[in-house]
Amino acid sequence: MTFKQDFLWGGATAANQLEGAFDVAGKGLSVADAMPGGKSRMQILGSDTFDWSIDADKYVYPNHKGIDHYHRFKEDIALFAEMGFKCYRFSIAWSRIFPMGDETKANEAGLAFYEQVIDECLKYGIEPVITISHYEMPLNLAKAYGGWKNREIVGFYENFAKAVLTRFHTKVKYWMTFNEINSAIALPALSQGMVATTGGEQQQNIFQAWHHQFVASSLAVKIGHELNPDLQIGCMIIYATTYSYDSNPVNQVATMLQNQAFNYFCADVQVRGEYPAYTQKLFKEKGVSPLAIEDGDLALLKAYPVDYVGFSYYMSAVQNVTDKDADTVDGNILGGVKNPFLEASDWGWQIDPTGLRIALNDLHGRYQVPLFIVENGLGAYDKVEADGTINDDYRIDYLAKHIQAMSDAVEDGVELMGYTPWGCIDLVSASTGEMSKRYGFIYVDLDDNIEGTGNRSKKKSFEWYKKVIATKGEDL
């Protein structure tokens, strides 16, 4: 048996992408509520004029309704239990707890909702795994405060983290402070609540915002461990195994620098509790001046590092600085050069299970702390047959190969806590706002305009994943 007895098999979601009920029970607007649906979502957010205005005449806002998990969570969690989930990763919508973000008193209706979700998981013996902040800061903090580049946000996040950790620390052991914190390099809107009109495209602001997030993350670890030293509080990064285009040492160096700038920088600070040795060089390259760091910040980072590294893994990337004519491939933030040895998804994400084994060995070798794969999966168009079945063999194939790579890495000696494939139930895509980019074992009958019955049905992968969990990853 490769995977340990208490391995956390499960699935992952984020509040803004499935709950809907965006204005129910005192919830305020979040940045995700201001993101239009459709393939041009990232272009709109990245434009010079985007200022977080919501224009319902011009755009569809799929996150407003999501898959209505807010009202159907019992049905959804029952299906997770049927698959045999040992854990369920979800996030808490900050704007349900602090609707404007800057209040001092938490919204009891928001806390009560998550208490019900947690209790429903525990009823089935499913361990909740909570992301405190997953691309959904209160819109007011982005609009009126300019997002994470503003130091005041640290105190607001501290209030939020304190409210949820205090309320749930006896029921929830596993936490993560920020989703894909390093994605800000390409997605400052989602990750840091910053857009061009509030300086979001400036590297100086992105790095300053990161410093604030690092401090906030350490404060959450401090609060959590003071409440209960057994809590496991992790960071969460997006990791893309990065290959050199060829054996030209120039491309090898470019790969090394890209790893530092993208895969390592945030986790280096959050795991080791200090800025890495290459920080000054990185700042120089990016044109970043010394950051505003307050007294006590660095000591706090050192005293309260994270307990484990959570990461998402979808694809690998290729680093090339020598061949201007190299073929390229689309893909959300990692696009770039085409790898002739790999296939790509319908959205251009290059599929690379072997890259996951490399990722696991790399991260474990670098940090020597337990790892948790908290996102992985294939976004694909699914077809409902006339008899209602959905034969998603392509998804089974993707996941089986990635689980095999995990197994190989565990045999290599990597300490792996668990595996939560992304979007275990179909939900709204983060990068495109589409429903038709589906990841789930459970199909949800809704289109890109969030029209349809909303009914849930089991895909072929549902029974397959159930068998994988039952056999502890032995029968793929």
Measured from the CB atom, is 304 or 311 closer to ligand BG6? 311
Segment contacting ligand BG6 (CB under 6 A): 42-50, 220-228, 385-393, 427-435? 427-435
Interface with ligand BG6, residue 312, by CB under 6 A: yes
Give, in order, the Cα–Cα distances in Å from 476 to each of 144, 183, 300, 317, 402: 50, 31, 44, 26, 10
Asked whether the beta carbons of 86 and 126 are under 8 A apart, the reply is: yes
Q: Is-contact 312 439, C-beta < 8 A?
A: no
Q: Which residue is nearest to ligand BG6 (CB)?
A: 431
DSSP H or E stretch at residue 243: strand 242-244
323 with 249: CB under 8 angstroms? no
Cβ atoms within 10 Å of 52's Cβ, excluding its own: 21
Question: 150 vs 263, which CB is nearer to ligand BG6?
Answer: 263
Interface mask (CB under 6 A) for ligand BG6, residues 122-161, using x and -?
-------------x--------------------------
- The answer to whether residue 437 forms part of the interface with ligand BG6 (CB under 6 A) is yes
How far is Cα 388 from Cα 458, in angstroms, rounded to an integer? 9
Tokens 């800057």, residue?
102
Nearer to ligand BG6, 133 or 320 (CB): 133
Binding status of residue 93 toward ligand BG6 by CB under 6 A: no
In the set 19, 120, 136, 375, the catalytic residue is: 375
Spatial CB neighbours of 279, under 8 Å, sequence gap ≥ 6: 265
Work out how close the CB of 13 gets to ligand BG6 at its nearest, in angstroms, rounded to a whole number. Answer: 9
Asked if 375 touches ligand BG6 (CB under 6 A), the answer is yes
In the set 63, 208, 332, 461, which binds ligand BG6 (CB under 6 A)? Answer: 332
Alpha-carbon 194 to chain mean position = 17
With 0-12 CB in 10 A as exposed, 13-18 as middle and 19+ as buried, what is 24?
middle
The radius of gyration computed from the CA coordinates of the chain, to the nearest angstrom, equals 21
Torsion 77-82-88-90 (CA) sign: negative
Question: Which of 431, 444, 456, 461 contacts ligand BG6 by CB under 6 A?
Answer: 431
Residue 426 C-beta: closest distance to ligand BG6, Å: 11
Chosen residue from 211, 429, 441, 450 binding ligand BG6 by CB under 6 A: 429
Provide φ and ψ at 401, rounded to 5°.
-65, -35
Decide: is 350 part of the binding site for ligand BG6 (CB under 6 A).
no
Q: Looking at 162-170, 192-200, 323-331, 423-431, which segment touches ligand BG6 (CB under 6 A)?
A: 423-431
* Separation between Cα atoms, residue 365 and residue 409, nearest integer Å: 11
Closest CA to 460 of 407, 383, 374: 383
Query: Catalytic: 375?
Result: yes
In the complex with ligand BG6, the residue whose CB is nearer, 260 or 345, is: 345
Q: How far is the CB of 295 from ligand BG6 (least distance, A)?
A: 34
Q: Does residue number 422 form part of the binding site for ligand BG6 (CB under 6 A)?
A: yes
Instruction: Pick the closer one to ligand BG6 by CB: 147 or 379.
Output: 379
Task: Specify the pairing of strand 232-238 against strand 174-178.
Answer: parallel
Residue ranges that bind ligand BG6, judged by CB under 6 A: 14, 17, 135, 179-180, 238, 312, 332, 375, 379, 422, 429-432, 437
Active-site amino acid positions: 375
